[in-house]
A and B are shown apart, each in its own frame.
Chain A
């Protein structure tokens, strides 16, 4: 079983739709969770951190469920510019905390 798993998609949604991604992690001692966005042929960029209490940044909402060991990302009112790959990152303990990436979920927002 992979340490961090994501549905690769692609998720194909119309503009204005609400879309949600989940990411599961296997190590219950994991600390710090993040969502990154990666555009085609570009490096990953931090979208938002995921706090235990859940957090919101504009149209984006991130949540952490430690009991079920998953994090989620909700995007409301999707824009064409939201089309990208969304990477889940989990800090997994191992001597020092190691950032481990999911394979990413592709989102395509169409007119």
Chain B
């Protein structure tokens, strides 16, 4: 299955600043996803990123706050803009490594970015 390199692995940021998280996949993937995971909670999907089109955001997430880039089939970035302490969380990127919904390869994850906003 694909391997995803995600960076930074952690950061402590001042409120009001922005942080860009990068994910590099070692193979071409059509769909990438960005998640947020609060402590003790499950993963919440922020947006789906397809190459060549704008990201599709889930309810409660907007492009101005979480702009996403997907310049090619192996790379994506998520920016957390104008950060506040409520944005402190783990951010994970993921890629669908199967070719269709019935594929059993599932999803591969980056190792996560642990963000603390002070």
Decide yes or no: A99 and B42 within 8 Å by CB, A43-B92, A91-B101 being known contacts.
no
A side interface size, CB within 8 A: 25
Decide yes or no: A34 and B110 within 8 Å by CB, A101-B42, A102-B42 being known contacts.
no
Mark the stretch among A14-22, A45-53, A70-78 that contacts chain B.
A45-53
- B48 CB contact (under 8 Å) in A31, A43, A98: A98
Interface string of A75-111 (1 = CB under 8 A from B): 0000000000001010100011111111110000000
CA distance A71 to B101 in the complex (A): 17
Shortest Cβ distance from residue A45 to the other chain B in the assembled complex, whole angstroms: 7
Q: Is the CB of A103 within 8 A of B103?
A: no
B33 interfacial by beta-carbon distance below 8 Å: yes
Interface string of B96-112 (1 = CB under 8 A from A): 10100111101111111
Contacts of B74 in A (CB 8 A): none
| Residues of chain A having any CB pair with chain B under 8 Å | 31-32, 34, 36, 41-46, 49, 51, 87, 89, 91, 95-104
